[in-house]
Amino acid sequence: MHYLREQDPEIYEYIVQEEQRQHEKIRLIASENYTSRAVMEATGSALTNKYSEGYPGKRYYEGQQLIDKVEAKAIERAKTLFGAEHANVQPYSGSPANLAVYLAFLKPGDTILGMALPHGGHLTHGAKVSISGKFFHAESYELDRSGILNYDKVREQALACRPKILIAGFSAYPRILDFERFRRIADEAGALLLVDMAHFAGLVAGGVYPSPLPYADVVTTTTHKTLRGPRGAMILCKEQHAAAIDKAVFPGCQGGPHNHTTAGIAVALKEAASPAFKAYAAQVVNNAQALAAALVSRGYNLVTGGTDNHLILVDLNNKGVSGRTAAKALDAAGLVLNCNAVPFDTRKPFDPSGIRLGAAAVTSRGFREAQMEQVGKWIDTVIQHCDDTAVQAKVADEIKELCQDFPAPGLEHLVR
């Protein structure tokens, strides 16, 4: 980055420090990962210079000969990888992707039904503070007291409120969703079924999580998280909905696509079709389950008792510490995660009762079950000593040493 260093040394230094942080800390935020150097190069390419409103073969600006090839390749790879009839790779991120789906099929005030935010849903599934909860009549289904999704109750609620769109998806639910059951509920309620697989798309691609594509009318996903691509999104749908989706993305919700991101998505999709990625996805689940077991053995209360995917939700009420206090102490010790609400949480959202952990990024570094056991031990040590900066510093040093043996993709140059 010598040009950046010369032109803007301040921003250069911030980036260098961020690279170092990502290298020497254990990143457990469930929505984060590492991209390959190839994805980074694509997203940092000259494609960022081009404006390309429209779709391949139907652009509003000239000079699109190569841009069309890039986007067409990303579309082709998305359709092949996930078995989709149609793919739109232009959404800037997951939230605009969901908004485009609403624009395609809803009018203001129409009813949507999704998982409640405090129970593991996402802001864009109808939370009152989100546009999805302000422009539409949003109903929410909740988990039962054990933290498990009760499909009978979802059915009852769907039949009572008759949503135009039924949403299946989550940001903090550690189990597998029954897409066939959701399909039956949607059909009975006369709803379109939207699956938001942003968190588990990479696990679907790797064959370790059921695909929603055979059951959903529309599927949205981010392209980072478990898929290990750049910060972007895609919408996959049946051919009958293709025109409505494309029109909702452009010109409905946004203008020109970010072509450098589209190229990065194409690269990531090619990587996700490889045998190595399938092995990676399987190890993500193995690592999450190993970390869950390590925490349970130390007396931690996990929502649903464990995990079937890449994430873990820990209820800290029995440990006498709040989620934010724990997250701050763990960050100081080199264990980066986020505080998170748990079902039926009595604490405020900014300082909830739980923490959320994910295994996607550490698996990209090559961590396996033995390292996850050590991570669980460190988490317990820090939480037991949330006010002890000396303990946090000691753990941070131990983590830096471990991370030297597990270079992060794209940051291998930082290994001493």
In a shared domain, residues 247 and 288: no
Active-site residue, from 51, 181, 278, 331 = 51
pLDDT means per 10 residues, the chain with 416 residues, are: 96 96 97 97 97 97 97 98 98 98 98 96 95 96 94 98 98 97 98 98 98 98 98 98 98 97 98 98 98 98 97 97 98 98 93 97 98 98 97 98 94 84
Q: Establish whether 308 is a catalytic residue.
A: no
How many C-beta atoms surround the C-beta of residue 172 within 10 A? 26
Q: Establish whether 175 is a catalytic residue.
A: no
Q: Which two tokens stand for residue 208?
A: 């370790």
Contacts of 46 (CB under 8 A, 6+ apart): none
246 within a domain of the structure (yes/no): yes
Residue 114 three-state SS:
strand
Active-site residue, from 24, 139, 196, 315 = 196
Report the DSSP pairing between strands 137-141 and 165-169.
unpaired
pLDDT at residue number 416:
72
Q: Establish whether 51 is a catalytic residue.
A: yes
Q: Which residue ranges make up the annotated binding site for (6S)-5,6,7,8-tetrahydrofolate?
A: 117, 121-123, 239
In a shared domain, residues 312 and 378: yes
Contacts of 250 (CB under 8 A, 6+ apart): 53, 54, 55, 90, 257
Q: Establish whether 196 is a catalytic residue.
A: yes
334 within a domain of the structure (yes/no): yes
In a shared domain, residues 120 and 264: yes
14 within a domain of the structure (yes/no): no
pLDDT at residue number 138:
97
In a shared domain, residues 156 and 231: yes
Polymer length in residues for the chain:
416
Q: Which residue ranges make up the annotated binding site?
A: 117, 121-123, 239
32 within a domain of the structure (yes/no): no
In a shared domain, residues 225 and 99: yes
Report the DSSP pairing between strands 233-237 and 218-222.
antiparallel
Query: CA–CA separation, 280 vs 206, rounded Å?
Result: 8
167 within a domain of the structure (yes/no): yes
In a shared domain, residues 71 and 206: yes
Task: Identify the domain boundary among 241, 272, 303.
Answer: 272
12 within a domain of the structure (yes/no): no
395 within a domain of the structure (yes/no): yes
In a shared domain, residues 75 and 222: yes
Task: Identify the domain boundary among 243, 272, 301.
Answer: 272
Residue 262: give its domain's CATH number.
Answer: 3.40.640.10
Whole-prediction pTM: 0.96
- Counting the structural domains of the chain, the total is 2
In a shared domain, residues 242 and 336: no
In a shared domain, residues 94 and 181: yes
Range of the domain at 304: 275-414
Active-site residue, from 53, 110, 331, 388 = 53
Residue 354 three-state SS:
strand
Q: Establish whether 145 is a catalytic residue.
A: no
In a shared domain, residues 232 and 332: no
In a shared domain, residues 95 and 178: yes
- Adjacent-strand bridge partners of 193: 166
Task: Identify the domain boundary among 272, 306, 336.
Answer: 272
Residue 331: give its domain's CATH number.
Answer: 3.90.1150.10
19 within a domain of the structure (yes/no): no
pLDDT at residue number 254:
97
In a shared domain, residues 385 and 331: yes
pLDDT at residue number 415:
81
Cα dist. 125→120, 131, 218, 252 in Å?
10, 10, 14, 19
pLDDT at residue number 79:
98
Q: Establish whether 34 is a catalytic residue.
A: no
